[in-house]
A and B are shown apart, each in its own frame.
Chain A
Amino acid sequence: MSAAMTMKLVHCLSFSAVVLLAACACAQDAEPDTAAALSLDTIPPAPVTGLSARDYIDNSDAGDKIELTWALSPDDGGGTNDVVSYQLWRSGGVEAEWDSLATAAAGETRYVDETAEPGVDYHYGVAAFDGTSYSERMSFGPVAGRANFFQFSRMSVLVLMLVFFGMVLVFTKLAERGAELFVRRIPGLNAIEEAVGRATEMGRPVLYVPGIGEIDNIMTIASLTILSHVAKITARYETPLIVPTARAVVMSAAEEVVKEAHAAVGKPDGYNPDNIRYLSDAQFAFAGAVNGIMLREKPAANLYMGAFWAESLLLAETGFEAGAIQVAGTAMVSQLPFFVTACDFTLMGEELYAASAYLSREPKLLGGLKGSDWMKVLSITIMTAGIVLYLLNPDNAFVAWFASQ
C-alpha cells in the first residue's frame, strides 16, 4: 500500500476516533449504558441497506474512481446506536478474495474509491462495525470505472482557447476580405531603413543574416518577409545585399525573395546571385564564416533577423567592433539580451512577427497578430476582473470557475 493511501487511512481512522469519542459523549448524556460497553457486545449491528456503486462522474477522472453509496445501518443514529464505523472491502470478481479497502466513519453514507484500475470489474462490500463485531456484509457489483470523456473542471481552458482561435480566424477572414486592419508601425523598421540608407551613403554593402533556423521555423519565415522589404530598398539604391545562410533550403528561398524584390522595383539586372551564400550547417562554422565576411567585406549595416542560438553574441560583437550599424530581431528570448546590448536596435520577440505582418499584409500573419493582440487585452481584463471580484467576494463564481483545476 502506498504512503498516500496509508496516510488517508490514518486520517480516516483518526477521524472515526474523534467521531467515536463525540458519539460516546452524546451517548452518555442520553442513555448511560457504560455497563453495556464494558460487557462484551456480542450482538452485531444491523447491516447497511441499499449499497450501490457507480463510476464516479461528478468530476472528471481517468476512470480510477468509483463512488460507493449506502443507507445507514438501522443501528447508526437509531436502534442500539452502537455503530462506530463501516468497513469497506473490494474484490476483483465474484470468486476473488475480499481485500480491505477503507473504513468510513459512522454517519457516513458515501465513499470514493480512488484506486480502481480503469475498466476492471470490481465488487464492493460494506459492513457496519460496533467496535467488536461486524454486521453481515452487503455486496454490490460488478462495477467498473470509465475514463471521463470531458474534464469539466478545465472548461475555462477550452473557453479561452476557443475565444483565441475564434479571434484569429475572424481577423484572418477580415484580412482576406480586404478589411483595413490597423497595425502600428514598428520603430525597428525605421531603424532598418536608416541602417540601409547609411550603407548606401557610404557605398558599402548591407549584410542580412536570416538566422540559422530551418525554413519551417516561423522566425525564418518572418525574416524572409523582412528580407523582401530590405531587398527592395537595396535594389532601388543599387546597394549590394549579402545574405549568408546556414540551411540550403533557406538559401534557395532567400534567392527567390531577393530576385523578386529586384524585379518588383524594376531592376532585375541588379540581382547578384553570388551574394546569396550558403556557408555551413554547423553553427559555429557558420558564425565564423559570417564574421569573416564582416571583417573582409566591411558591410556598413548588419541586420540579424530570425532564429539565433549561441552564435548571436559572436556575430553581434564582431559587427559592433567592425563599426557597422546593427539591427537585430528574434523571438529567441534567451538571445535577446545579447542583441539588445550589442546592437543599435532590436526587434524583440513578437515585434519580429508584427514587422513581418506589417510589411507583407499577409492575411494569416495579420490574423494571428490581431488575434494575439486582443488576447492580451482579454488577459488584462480577466486579471483585473479577477482582482476586483476576488476582493469583493473570495468565493465569487467567476473566480472559482477560472481557478478551478
Chain B
Amino acid sequence: MTFIWTTIGALLTLSIYSFLYKDNPFYKFAEHLVVGVSAGYYLVIYYFNYIHPNVFSPVFLLEIGGEPIGFGSFLWWMALIPGLLGVLLYARFFPKIAWVGRWALGIYVGGYAGLGLSPVMQARVIEQLRANALSIAGVEDPFAAMTNLALAVGIFAAMIYLLIAKRNLGAKNPLAKVGVLVVSAVVAYGGWLVLSLISSAGVVSLTNILLVIGLLGTLSYFFFSMKHKGILGGLARVGIVFLMVGFGASFGYTVMSRISLLIGRVGFLIDWVGQIRGIFGA
C-alpha cells in the first residue's frame, strides 16, 4: 500500500519537474491537483480544529473541550459573538452591505496589532539595541570595553573617510585629516589587537564591532530627512556596503535552501527506484 502512495508521489514529483524542460499537460495536471487538494485539506483542518471546537460546539452543542456550558452563559456569548463577527466578513459578497464586514475586520486587525505591538517592539527594537550596546560595552574588563569602543569608532571613521572624505570633503578638509589620523591609529591598533588576542586580554570579537557599525550605517542609509551628503552620506555608504554583503549572504542561503529541496526530492525518487527494484527483484 505504501508503495502505491510513494509511486503516486514520485510520478507527481516527476510531473512537476517536467516543467523545467517546458510547460506540458503533466505539469498542469500536477499543479491543479496541488491547488485542489490543499484547498480541501485546509478546509477540513480549519473546520475541525477551529470552527467546530470554538464556534459550532459551544454555540449549538453547548460544550467546550468536552465540558458542558450553559445556554446564554458568558462562555456561550463569548463563542457566539466572535462567530457572528466572522460571518460578517462574508458581507463583502453583497456590495450593498459590504461595509459591515469592516467592523469584523477592524476588530480582528486591532486585536492582533495590540497583541503584537509590545512583544515585537521589545524583540526587534529594545532587545536589539541592548544587545548591540552590550556587545561592545558588556565585557567584564572595563579596559577591554574601552578598547572595543575605540576600535569601533576607529573602524567607523576610517570607513567613512575611505568612502567619502576625499570625494565629498576634499583632502584638505580637517575631517579628512582626522580620517587619515584615525586610519593610521587603526592600523597601529590592529597590531596591538593581534597581540592582545594572542594573550587573550578579553577583547570581544571583531564580529560584534562590525555588527554595530553595520547597524548604524544601515540606519543612516534609511534616513530620509536629510540629504545624503557629508557625514551622513558617508554613514549611508557604509550602510550600503553592509546591505550588499547581507544580500549576498541571503542570496547564497537561498540557493542552498532551494538546492536542499531538490536534494530532498531526488533522495525521495532514488528511494522509490530502490523500492521498485526490491519489488521486481532486479
Contacts and interface: CB of A to CB of B under 8 A. Distances in A.
A-B interaction: yes
Interface of A: 154, 156-158, 160-161, 182-184, 186, 282, 284, 288, 333-334, 336-338, 340-341, 348-351, 354, 358, 369-370, 373-374, 376-377, 379-380, 382-383, 386-388, 390-391, 394, 402-403
B222 interface: yes
Grouping DSSP codes into helix (H, G, I), strand (E, B) and loop, the B interface class, with mixed when no group exceeds half, is: helix
A373 B118 CA distance: 20
A23 to B, nearest CB: 34
B107 to A, nearest CB: 16
A379 B225 CA distance: 15
B187 interface: no
A336 B247 contact: yes
A380 B251 CA distance: 28
Interface stretch (B5-13, B142-150, B166-174, B269-277): B142-150
Contacts of B266: none
B69 to A, nearest CB: 19
Given A157-B126, A334-B254, A376 B219 contact: yes
A337 B247 contact: yes
Contacts, number: 98
From B212, B224, B244, residue with most partner A Cβ within 10 Å: B224
Interface in B103-141: 117-118, 121-122, 125-126, 129-130, 132-134, 136-138
B243 interface: yes
Nearest to B35: A282
Given A350-B222, A380-B216, 16 more contacts: A154-B118, A154-B122, A161-B117, A184-B225, A336-B247, A337-B247, A349-B222, A373-B224, A376-B223, A377-B223, A379-B125, A380-B219, A387-B133, A387-B136, A387-B137, A391-B145
Contacts of B194: none
Considering the complex of A and B, which 6 residue pairs feature the smallest CB-CB distances, nearest first? A386-B133, A337-B251, A337-B247, A390-B137, A387-B137, A373-B225
A373 B35 CA distance: 42
Given A383-B132, A383-B133, A184 B149 contact: no
B52 interface: no
B248 interface: yes
A157 B149 CA distance: 26
Nearest to A386: B133
Contacts of A334: 250, 254
A390 B133 contact: yes
A175 to B, nearest CB: 13
A183 B250 contact: no
A157 B219 contact: no
Contact of A386 (B121, B137, B226): B137
B227 interface: yes
Contact of A391 (B117, B121, B149, B250): B149
B251 A373 contact: no
Contacts of A382: 129
A282 B228 CA distance: 41
B98 to A, nearest CB: 12
Given A386-B130, A390-B137, A160 B226 contact: no
B225 A161 contact: no
A337 B250 contact: yes
Given A379-B125, A386-B130, A370 B222 contact: no
B25 to A, nearest CB: 15
Contacts of B142: 391
Contacts of A337: 247-248, 250-251, 254
Nearest to B240: A348
A163 to B, nearest CB: 11
B254 A157 contact: no
Contact of A373 (B31, B138, B223): B223
A391 B35 CA distance: 58
A4 B5 CA distance: 45
* Of listed A182, A334, A379, A388, residue having the most chain B CB within 10 A: A379
A248 to B, nearest CB: 13
A184 B224 contact: yes
A184 B226 contact: yes
